[in-house]
Structure 1
Amino acid sequence: MDIQKVSQDDLESITHLVLDVAKIDVFPHFNEKGQAEFKTRVLPDLNTILTEPNYLSVKAAISGEIVGVAALRNADYLTHLFVSKSCQGKGIGKALLNYLVTETKAQQVSLRSSINAVSFYESLGFECTAEEGDYNGIRFVPMTLDLQNSRNIKTG
């Protein structure tokens, strides 16, 4: 597996990856309004993570195929982390996060976890900072990872 910065050429592959994972893992936790909001807000935002200078965006590739993507905005907010369903549980998400946290100088990283990913983030040292929220049908749990004492996420 290779972890590399994304390029504009990756947009189509990343969009397909995110939508495929969302259909299986994320959409079952959303109502119709949330699914529509995701499609109109999150999918178009993928272009932003490839082009805006305030994002550090990386991909994981196996034999040239993109199997994961992650993006950190303003060095301290994880906006996206998606791993292909066929590759989940193989350390790809952890590797993508490790790459991002070792590159940032921030003291902490925050995110809004999808409901299905809370236990994944907790296993890596993230802590819930508030109750479950809902934005136009998109359910999430605010979480934070303290980086003051370590630049690496938990290894298990």
Structure 2
Amino acid sequence: MDIRLANQNDIDQITKLVSQVSVADVLPHFDSSGQQEYMRRVIPDIETTLNTVLFDTFVAVEGNLIVGFAAIREKNYITHLFVAKEVQGQGLGKILLEKMLAQTSARQISLRSSINAQHFYKKQGFSATEPEDQFCGIRFIPMAIDTRKSKR
């Protein structure tokens, strides 16, 4: 498996990956308005992550297939971390997370965890900074990690 910077040629595969994982793991936690809002916002936002001035964006490639996607904005806010269902539980999410954290010297990295991913982030050293919240029906848990105390 190869971890590399994402590029414009990856958009279709990344979009397919994010859509598949979202339908299986994320959308079931939202009501219908949250599901619509999520798909309206998240899928178009993928292309934004290829702006190398603001984002460090990575893909995990197995053969010719993208099986992981991760993006960190301004080196202190994780916006995306998706792993294909067929390789979940094999450590790829942790590898992608470590790759993002290695790109920064920020003292704190924050994110809005989907409900289904909160246990993964806790296991990696993140803590909830506020209770569960929602925006337009999209449920999330604000989380952060102090990089000075993390296991990196």
Q: How high is the TM-score relative to the length of structure 2?
A: 0.97
Aligned to 1:55: 55
Query: What is the DSSP-based 3-state SS (H/G/I as helix, E as strand, rest coil) of the residue aligned with 2:102?
Result: helix
Cα separation, 1, equivalents of 2:10 and 2:151: 28
Letter paired with 1:60: A
Once the two structures are superposed, the pairs formed by residues 34-113 of structure 1 within 5 Å of their partners are 34-113=34-113
Inter-CA distance 150–143: structure 2 relative to 1 (3 Å threshold):
closer
Structure 2 CA distance, aligned partners of 1:77 and 1:122?
Answer: 16
Give the conservation status (yes or no) of the 8 Å contact 2:125–2:151: no
Indicate the larger mover: 45-54 or 125-134. 45-54
Give me the whole-angstrom Cα distance separating, in 2, the residues matched to 1:24 and 1:88: 12
Contact 2:125/2:150 (CA < 8 Å) preserved in 1?
no
Structure 1 runs of 4+ aligned residues shifted over 2 Å read none
Structure 2: distance between partners of 1:51 and 1:76: 15
CA–CA separation in structure 1 for the residues paired with 2:121 and 2:144: 9
Structure 1: state its 5+ residue gaps: none
Identity of aligned residues (%): 46
Q: Which residue of 1 aligns with 2:14?
A: 14
| Whole-Å separation in 1 of the counterparts to 2:52 and 2:15 | 17
1:3-60 alpha-carbon deviations (Å, 9 max, x no partner): 1000000001000000000000001001111111111111100000013511000011
Alignment check: 8 A CA contact 1:101 1:151 kept: no
What is the Cα deviation at residue 142 of structure 1? Answer: 0.4
Give the corresponding residue for 2:131.
Answer: 131
Structure 2 gaps of 5+ residues are none
What's the RMSD between the two structures over aligned residues?
A: 1.1
> Conserved in 1, the CA contact under 8 Å of 2:59 and 2:70?
yes
